[in-house]
């Protein structure tokens, strides 16, 4: 996977770095756009499938002022870019919409603005949202208070089948971009791999590329990829 030593530590470099990363994954210019709503810029990559039913694969690209934001959340950006690369030549039943959200750390502003801009008549065509946030620390986990039960069960079943260690637990007083989709009744899931010491690493000067466990990052990516692929093969209402 992409070398995390190249993580952009400056806020002003983040969005441009996301664009460059997706371009390295082979995204044509016709599939990529930067959309700005309510003062928030989100990068959107649309990979058309056989149908107009959609799966959103998201991760926030912004960071807090301290540290490089390597774990939170450049690991998520790396993961969704590689999911695009893995599926770009695969026949898909549904359209995949990859979104790098801005200003998550300021209150999920990018994802809220994005879902608020969706026409009401289009909501039913959004089958699911898979959010990836803060990988590379420990075993793959799903945040209960940020995820739909049906998608949690799918993730657990796939982890068992793939022999990947997996856990799920709520993260009190926390939210992620998946919550913006849940608020619109779109099934959503947040995948992370944080360990119990995350409060001393995330949102601090300790959030550096040297802290990322490459095996944890890779296994989280593999499971997230399997989740997206499985949602594509299911009916659009399977997880509502």
Residue-level pLDDT at 203 = 96
Contact 118, 184 (CB under 8 A): yes
Written as tens digits, the pLDDT of the chain (240 aa) is: 656 668 999 999 999 999 999 999 999 999 999 999 889 999 999 999 999 999 999 999 999 999 899 999 999 999 999 999 999 999 999 999 999 999 999 999 999 999 999 999 999 999 999 999 999 999 999 999 999 999 999 999 999 999 999 999 999 999 999 999 999 999 999 999 999 999 999 999 999 999 999 999 999 999 999 999 999 999 999 999
For the entire predicted model, the pTM comes to 0.97
3-state secondary structure of 33: strand
Residue that has been written with the tokens 């208070």 in this structure: 145
The domain tally of the chain equals 1
Task: Please report, for residues 81, 96, 188, the alpha-carbon distance to residue 88 in angstroms, rounded to integers and kept in the order given.
Answer: 10, 10, 22
Nearest alpha-carbon partner for 186 in 55, 37, 60, 94: 55
State which residues form the domain around 197.
Answer: 10-233
Residue 164 maps to which CATH number? 3.40.630.10
Indicate whether 182 belongs to any domain: yes
169 part of a folded domain: yes
CB atoms inside a 10 Å sphere around CB 119: 7
Is 1 among the domain residues?
no
């Amino acid at each position: 996977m992409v070398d995390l030593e190249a993580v952009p530590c400056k806020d002003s470099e983040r969005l441009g770095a996301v664009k460059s990363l997706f371009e390295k994954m082979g995204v044509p210019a016709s599939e990529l756009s930067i959309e700005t709503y309510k003062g928030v810029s989100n990068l959107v990559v649309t990979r058309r499938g056989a149908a107009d039913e959609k799966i959103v694969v998201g991760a926030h690209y912004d960071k807090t002022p301290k540290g490089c934001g390597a774990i939170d959340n450049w690991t998520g950006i790396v993961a969704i870019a590689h999911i695009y690369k893995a599926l770009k030549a695969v026949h898909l039943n549904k359209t995949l919409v990859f979104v790098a959200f801005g200003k998550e750390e300021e209150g999920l502003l990018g994802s809220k603005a994005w879902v608020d801009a969706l026409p009401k008549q289009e909501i039913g065509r959004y089958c699911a949202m898979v959010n990836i946030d803060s990988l590379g620390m420990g075993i793959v986990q799903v945040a209960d208070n940020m995820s739909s039960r049906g998608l949690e069960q799918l993730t657990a079943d796939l982890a068992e089948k793939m022999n990947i260690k997996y856990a799920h637990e709520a993260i009190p007083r926390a939210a992620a971009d998946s919550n913006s989709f849940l608020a619109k009744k779109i099934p959503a899931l947040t995948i992370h791999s944080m360990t119990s010491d995350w409060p001393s690493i995330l949102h601090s000067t300790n959030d550096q590329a040297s802290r990322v466990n490459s095996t944890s990052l890779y296994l989280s990516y593999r499971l997230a990829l399997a989740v997206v692929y499985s949602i594509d093969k299911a009916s659009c209402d399977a997880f509502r």
